[in-house]
């Protein structure tokens, strides 16, 4: 999988960027788990699209966390990043935290997104949904229980090991710190987002794992209710991270929707 990895300057901040493929640009915004690696999911999408996978400020090898205080700062950041890449518009897909950022980007700059895919997106407070577990306090095994359909699978234990290396632990702590900057209080939502979803006018696909124990399907239904014409689909035998746990059907759904 011969992808390109580079650091690009975004107004003084060095941002890690992975990319590969050709065709219409597809910008992927990652979750709080910080999946900034060239996953099989990205390889599948790169057969049809030019896939860009940036690390959010403060995640992985990206700097710039000192410039981020709210999710709206990340919206400014991603419009600047799209400008730096020469992307007037793009297909945009986001998972969990990345889905929230993508939704905010679509609310504030709908002209920059041709089609939108939100996967297990946080960002909303919905009275009819169960509260989300506290990801900041969860141990490794607890996080596996929250995120994966089968927390004891080889994949789950590889992604979230019981005994992480020092490098893995540092990455987890950096990811939690960067997530806390925008999602500590209120916990992983923007109080005003739900009333602004009507501004999302581009075709929108909502993808949820059918066994998501972090962001229940009720949040997907709330997004569907707020985004006119959006479609909600579920991935079977899948938890909170469809691109990681069920890459084939998730990539297939995105390819069909985006093309």
Q: Is the pLDDT of residue 44 over 80?
A: yes
Domains of the chain: 4-258 (3.40.50.1820)
pTM attached to this predicted model:
0.97
- Other beta carbons less than 10 A from residue 22's beta carbon: 11
Residue carrying the six token digits 């300057």: 9
Q: Could you tell me what percentage of the chain is helix, strand and coil, using 3-state DSSP and rounding each to the nearest 5?
A: 40, 20, 40
- What is the per-residue pLDDT across 235-253, written as a single tens digit (0 to 9) for each? 999 999 999 999 999 999 9
Amino acid 4: pLDDT: 97
138-166 pLDDT, tens digit per residue, is 999 999 999 999 999 999 999 999 999 99
What confidence tens digit (pLDDT) does each residue in 159-201 have?
999 999 999 999 999 999 999 999 999 999 999 999 999 999 9
Confidence (pLDDT) at 1: 61
pLDDT at residue 47 in the model: 96
Cβ–Cβ < 8 Å for 227, 201: no
Mean pLDDT in residue range 216-238 = 97
């Amino acid at each position: 999988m011969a992808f390109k990895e580079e650091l690009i300057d975004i107004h003084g901040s060095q941002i890690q960027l992975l990319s590969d493929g050709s065709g219409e640009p597809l910008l992927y915004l990652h979750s709080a788990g910080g999946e900034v690696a060239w996953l099989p999911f990205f390889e599948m999408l790169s057969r049809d699209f030019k896939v860009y996978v940036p690390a959010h400020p403060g995640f992985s090898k990206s700097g710039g966390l000192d410039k981020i205080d709210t999710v709206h700062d990340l919206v400014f950041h991603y419009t600047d990043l799209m400008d730096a890449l020469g992307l007037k518009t793009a297909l945009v897909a986001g998972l969990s935290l990345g889905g929230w950022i993508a939704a905010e980007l679509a609310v504030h700059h709908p002209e920059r997104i041709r089609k939108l895919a939100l996967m297990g997106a946080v960002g909303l407070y919905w009275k009819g949904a169960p509260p989300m577990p506290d990801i900041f306090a969860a141990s490794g095994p607890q996080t596996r229980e929250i995120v994966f359909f089968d927390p004891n699978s080889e994949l789950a234990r590889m992604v979230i090991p019981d005994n992480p290396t020092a490098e893995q632990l540092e990455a987890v702590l950096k990811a939690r710190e960067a997530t806390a900057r925008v999602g500590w209080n209120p916990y992983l939502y923007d109080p005003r987002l739900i009333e602004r979803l009507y501004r999302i006018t581009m075709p929108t696909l909502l993808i949820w794992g059918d066994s998501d124990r972090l962001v229940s399907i009720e949040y997907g239904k709330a997004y569907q209710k707020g985004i006119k014409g959006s479609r909600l689909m579920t991935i079977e035998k899948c938890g909170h991270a469809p691109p990681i746990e069920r890459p084939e059907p998730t990539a297939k759904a995105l390819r069909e929707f985006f093309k």
